[in-house]
């Protein structure tokens, strides 16, 4: 057997064995493994992509949450401010009203007091006049005997009263 002459028997068996192995591996071997590994690769890539997206979404949600919180805080402060203003306004108004009312009451009271005072003075004056008249009557009754003197006195008194009134 020369080294470089292909041997028929070995060539024959090589053909048989290699073609059998090729057929078996073509059917059950390599495509199965290659497809599986490629599918796994696709699956892992997909999972990574999803994880990435989820992380991104989570970050977005956090950001959104913070934004919402910030907004809420701002709204709160605005509301608080408004409430305070309203409160102040109400209080101021109430004070004003109260003052007005009090003034009005005071004025009313003063007016009434004035009126009553005037009435009282009038009454007193009337009473004083009556008393004076009565006193005068009494005085006059006692001294009516002397006509001349009495006439003079009456005129004098009348004058005085007239001047007074």
Partner 1 sequence: MKYLRTILLMLAVTFTANVAFAAEHSENEEEGGISLKEILFGHVQDAYQWHVTDLGGEPVIIHLPMIFYSQNSGFHVYCTSQFEHEPNAELLREGPDGFYIQGAEDEKGKIVEKVGDELQPVCFDISITKQVCILFIDAIILLLCILIPARWCKKHKVDDPAPSGFTGMMHMLIMSVYNDLIKSTLGDKADKYAPYLLTCFFFIFFANLMGVMPFPPGGGNITGNIAVTAFLALCTFLVTNVTGNGHYWREIFWPEVPTWLKCPVPLMPVIELFGVFIKPIVLMVRLFANMLAGHAIAISLSCMIFIMFGLGGFMGNLLGGIITPVSVLMSIFMMFLELLVCYIQAMVFTLLSAIYIEMSHAHHHE
Residues that bind partner 1 (CB under 8 A): 1, 3-15, 17-18, 20-22, 24-26, 28-37, 39-40, 43
Q: Compute the least distance from the CB of residue 49 to partner 1, in Å.
A: 15
Q: Compute the least distance from the CB of residue 48 to partner 1, in Å.
A: 13
Q: Compute the least distance from the CB of residue 81 to partner 1, in Å.
A: 56
Q: How far apart are the first and last CA of the chain?
A: 177
Q: Retrieve residue 37's tokens.
A: 């590994």
The DSSP result for 106-147, as a single string, is: HHHHHHHHHHHHHHHHHHHHHHHHHHHHHHHHHHHHHTTTSH
Q: Compute the least distance from the CB of residue 46 to partner 1, in Å.
A: 10
Per the listing, tokens 């199965």 go with 32
In terms of CB distance, is 33 or 128 closer to partner 1?
A: 33
Q: Retrieve residue 17's tokens.
A: 């064995």
In terms of CB distance, is 31 or 96 closer to partner 1?
A: 31
d(CA 108, CA 95): 19
* Residues across the chain: 165
In terms of CB distance, is 15 or 90 closer to partner 1?
A: 15
Q: Which residues contact 136 (CB under 8 A, 6 or more apart)?
A: 157
In terms of CB distance, is 7 or 85 closer to partner 1?
A: 7
In terms of CB distance, is 18 or 149 closer to partner 1?
A: 18
Q: Compute the least distance from the CB of residue 2 to partner 1, in Å.
A: 9
């Amino acid at each position: 057997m020369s080294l470089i002459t292909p041997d028929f028997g070995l060539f024959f068996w090589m053909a048989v064995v290699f073609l059998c192995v090729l057929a078996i591996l073509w059917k059950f071997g390599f495509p199965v493994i290659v497809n599986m590994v490629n599918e796994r690769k696709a699956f892992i890539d997909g999972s990574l992509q999803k994880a990435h997206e989820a992380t991104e979404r989570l970050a977005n949600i956090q950001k959104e949450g913070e934004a919402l919180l910030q907004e809420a805080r701002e709204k709160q402060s605005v509301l608080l401010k408004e409430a305070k203003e309203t409160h102040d306004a109400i209080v101021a108004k109430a004070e004003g009203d109260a003052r007005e009312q009090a003034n009005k009451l005071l004025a009313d009271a003063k007016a009434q007091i004035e009126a009553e005072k005037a009435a009282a003075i009038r009454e007193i004056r009337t009473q004083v006049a009556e008393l004076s008249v009565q006193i005068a009557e009494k005085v006059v009754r006692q001294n009516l005997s002397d006509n001349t003197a009495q006439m003079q006195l009456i005129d004098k008194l009348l004058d005085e009263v007239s001047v007074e009134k």
